[in-house]
Amino acid sequence: MKIKDNDFICIIPARGGSKGLKNKNLLKINSIPLVLWPINSAKKVKFIRKIVLSSDSKKILNIAKNKIVDFHLRPKYLATDTATTFSVIKNILEKKEYKNFKNIICLEPTSPFTNSKIIEKSIKLFLKSKAQSLVTIAEANQSSPNFLFKKYTNKILKPYIKSKKYNHLRRQDIKKTYFPDGSLYISDTVSLIKNKGFFGKKTIGYLIPKFYNLEIDDKTDLNIARSIAKYNNLK
């Protein structure tokens, strides 16, 4: 397989264990297991030449066996609570069949609504900008540092950012802040290895609507996702 400069390898990390929700990546939304949502989306993107599913769970790998993806059964040391996504990705990129890819995209099963249009727009923005990496972001809104508090042992609340003007702050007067929403990460492989992750000196953000950046961490998130998918007939 001849790999072009604008070809991407897509890595989907899907660990079997989960503290918040048991067997989280096997849970279903609209009858589709979480692990299949990013696979189904990635297959529709022209820039993605190879999809690799990484998991320590044979159940998870078996679910995707008919989806034309490569499988990576993680060694035990990469399936612990302390193992990082970067260490999993690095382990895959070191394999002979994947070494020639210049660009990587990482999709998380816990962000099921990251569809093919979002993925393709993100890749185009990344290529056009000539940045080292790109991450999807969301507006912080209520979680802006300007409106956060610290709680002390006596339950007294104090503003996280010290300011005498706190009681007079209006949201429309505060500069918008953003956070990585965990949906999608892109990098050239050289920068990824150098930075040991997707954040470096030339990382850009791609803002996606709140509807799409839901990340499933607990049962409440799962129920919300199921309601959204059912109402909008998402598959």
DSSP β-bridge partners for residue 50: 9
Q: What pTM was computed for the model?
A: 0.90
Alpha-carbon distances of 229 from 164, 181, 183, 207, 212, rounded to whole Å: 44, 19, 16, 21, 11
Say if residue 114 is in the same domain as residue 147: no
CB neighbour class for 21 (10 Å; exposed up to 12, middle 13-18, buried from 19): middle
Structural domain of residue 200, as residue ranges? 8-136+176-232
Q: The CATH number of the domain where 195 resides is what?
A: 3.90.550.10
What was the pLDDT predicted at 168?
A: 60
In tens digits, what is the pLDDT along the chain, a chain of 235 residues?
778 888 999 999 998 877 778 889 999 999 999 999 999 999 999 999 999 999 999 999 999 888 889 999 998 898 888 889 999 999 999 999 999 999 999 999 999 999 999 999 999 999 999 999 999 999 887 667 777 788 887 778 887 777 666 556 666 667 788 889 999 999 999 999 999 999 999 999 999 988 888 899 999 999 999 999 999 898 8
Say if residue 108 is in the same domain as residue 212: yes
3, part of any domain: no
Rounded to 5 degrees, φ, ψ at 223 are -65, -40
Q: Which residue has the tokens 């007067």?
A: 173
What was the pLDDT predicted at 68?
A: 86
What was the pLDDT predicted at 21?
A: 87
b (16+ CB within 10 A) / e for 163-188: eeeeeeeeeeeeeeeeebbbbbbbbb
- Of the candidates 104, 155, 114, the one whose C-alpha atom is nearest the C-alpha of residue 134 is 104
Say if residue 27 is in the same domain as residue 88: yes
Say if residue 68 is in the same domain as residue 115: yes
- What's the rounded Cα separation, in Å, for the pair 66 and 63? 8
What was the pLDDT predicted at 170?
A: 67
What was the pLDDT predicted at 172?
A: 66
CA 61 to chain centre: 19
What was the pLDDT predicted at 119?
A: 97
DSSP β-bridge partners for residue 53: 12, 71
Say if residue 210 is in the same domain as residue 106: yes
What was the pLDDT predicted at 30?
A: 94
- Of the candidates 199, 183, 6, 12, the one whose C-alpha atom is nearest the C-alpha of residue 88 is 12
How far from each other are the two terminal CA atoms of the chain, in whole angstroms? 31
- Of the candidates 2, 100, 6, 106, the one whose C-alpha atom is nearest the C-alpha of residue 46 is 6
Say if residue 84 is in the same domain as residue 164: no
